[in-house]
Amino acid sequence: MLSIKEVSKQYNTHLVLDRINIDVSYGSILGLLGPNGAGKTSLIRIITQIIVQDSGEVWFHGERLSDKHVSMVGYLPEERGLYKKMAVGEQLIYLSRLKGLSKSDAKTKVGEWMDKFGIQDWWHRPVEELSKGMQQKVQFIAAVIHEPKLIILDEPFSGFDPLNANLLKDEILNLRQSGSTIIFSTHRMESVEELCDDVAMIDRAKIVLQGKKSAIRAEYNTHTYMIESDMAVVEVSDGFEIISSFRTSSERSVTEIKCLTKSANELIIELSGKVSIYSFAEKIPNLNKIFIDLVNRSTELPMLASIAAGQNSQK
């Protein structure tokens, strides 16, 4: 659906995107991750044609990105972009018309979406009277009402309570099921874990992580297991390492053990002769831990390079 090839962008002397390459598959949800200032917003603005890259290419639906693709993209920005004094229904019809819908189709679709989100009573009320979460619902409707091929959601759950967040998650999955391709930019890793098929992480203007969510977890797997047993495991043979151990409130012990050179099956066999095992679970790394480790590592590298340069200059 979308192919970003060697895209770079610089503001004065500040490089915000450095030869970015990302492919977004049809009908998938891509999680676009990165710390503040990493370059995510600049990349989104290039895809939505708000700004132009300095170099590289963006291909959309097999064609070089151009003005004709604007109406095929739906964009929910992190910052609200609604007219505060304008009534909700009137505003959504107006924004729908800008996306190419006829007046009658726009009115019908706006009514359907407002019913779906339970805000039909707000049709004649100005946006400024809505809560932050209600405004986000209106903004979301404006982004998807024209059934775009590509939907870009930047922090879509901002301002939502858990109930409304679940409502929005269901709608995002319904849109994917209907054939839309979605780019999902957020700092909420639990949402990425739940919704996304693929992940791309930008840090310091570069791609530092990219691929299928399952493949990324497998790549960063530490082969560590949590064993709940009747007593603590205090000793293991070569090939295993005890990481930690603690007692639970139910007077059971939980031991964290890492497989260094031996398998999980071999660990079970060894432990079964020492303790009674109640549960045995692999400690699978989550995206939040991977994200933090990568950001910390990329922060340390320039510091190490600076230290090394200082040491060389003293020699």
In the CATH hierarchy, which top-level class contains the domain 2-217? alpha beta
Bin 159: left if φ > 0, else alpha if -120 < ψ < 50, else beta. left
Tell me: the pLDDT tens digits for 130-170?
Answer: 888 888 899 999 999 999 999 999 988 887 888 888 889 99
In the sheet that 224-229 helps form, which strands lie side by side, from edge to edge? Answer: 240-247, 253-259, 224-229, 277-282
Q: Which residues pair with 290 in a beta bridge?
A: none
The overall pTM is greater than 0.85: no
Tell me: the pLDDT tens digits for 18-40?
Answer: 999 999 999 999 999 888 888 89
- Predicted pLDDT at 29: 95
Identify the DSSP state of 125.
Answer: S
Tell me: the pLDDT tens digits for 50-94?
Answer: 999 999 999 998 899 999 998 899 999 887 788 999 999 999 999
Q: Both tokens of residue 87? A: 């009534």
Smallest CA-to-CA distance from 202 within 75, 21, 3 is with 21
CA 204 from chain centre, in angstroms, equals: 17
